[in-house]
């Protein structure tokens, strides 16, 4: 099985690019949202770690955001509860798809949490700052994003350690062509 890890800046379009490969995708952001909505175990641990902020089940993302905004250490507490669960779900996903030729890992902290293996193929999604900011302004709390970026390796390091770079100019045809070209190279070298 070939494992492809998608890396890049917050808001660069990693999830969209991951889906274009046409293979099973493990999306860590989707998993985190599911844990907040469905996992009583995570709720209890988060309530214990952040009793002032976590009020009821399901966990409200706004409560998490508020806790992180008040104190950077609260982000570490959230990570300590959520990341082991995400990793467990990722391992289940990999076992479930062990007979697939390729799986795609869309995990924002893939390299930082040393989830990637040495022979994983890393693909850096490169997008213009202006485009990223336009997308982020629409949907996210920019103060939270700044705090999350502090957890991440620099983009230069991610880019340097990646096997391929896919430029995302947010036009579907161009991305699909770039993904197809990269996929052909990966399959040729297999």
Could you tell me which residue, 163 or 146, shows the higher pLDDT? 163
Cα–Cα distance measured from residue 67 to residue 36, given in angstroms and rounded to the nearest whole number? 15
Q: What is the pLDDT of residues 43-91, one digit of tens each?
A: 999 999 999 999 999 999 888 988 988 888 898 899 899 999 999 999 9
**Mean pLDDT computed over 130-149:** 70
Predicted pLDDT of residue 153: 74
The predicted model scores a pTM of 0.87
pLDDT of 137 reads 72
What is the C-alpha separation between 49 and 62, in angstroms, rounded?
16
Structure confidence at residue 37 as a pLDDT band (50, 70, 90): very high
CB 44 within 8 A of CB 51: no
């Amino acid at each position: 099985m070939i494992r492809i890890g998608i890396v890049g800046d917050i808001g660069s379009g990693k999830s969209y690019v991951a889906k274009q490969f046409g293979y099973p995708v493990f999306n860590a952001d989707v998993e985190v949202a599911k844990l907040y909505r469905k996992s009583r175990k995570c709720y209890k641990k988060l309530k214990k770690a952040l009793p002032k902020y976590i009020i009821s089940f399901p966990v409200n993302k706004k409560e998490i955001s508020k806790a992180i905004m008040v104190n950077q250490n609260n982000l570490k507490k959230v990570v300590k509860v959520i990341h082991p669960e995400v990793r467990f779900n990722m391992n289940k996903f990999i076992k479930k798809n062990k007979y697939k030729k390729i799986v795609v890992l869309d995990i924002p902290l893939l390299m930082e949490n040393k989830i990637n293996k040495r022979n994983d193929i890393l693909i850096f999604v490169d997008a213009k700052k202006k485009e990223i900011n336009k997308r982020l302004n629409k949907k996210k709390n920019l103060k939270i994003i700044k705090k999350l970026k502090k957890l991440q390796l620099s983009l230069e390091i991610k880019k340097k350690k990646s096997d391929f770079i896919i430029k995302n100019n947010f036009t579907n045809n161009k991305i699909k062509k770039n993904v197809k070209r990269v996929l052909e190279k990966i399959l040729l070298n297999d």
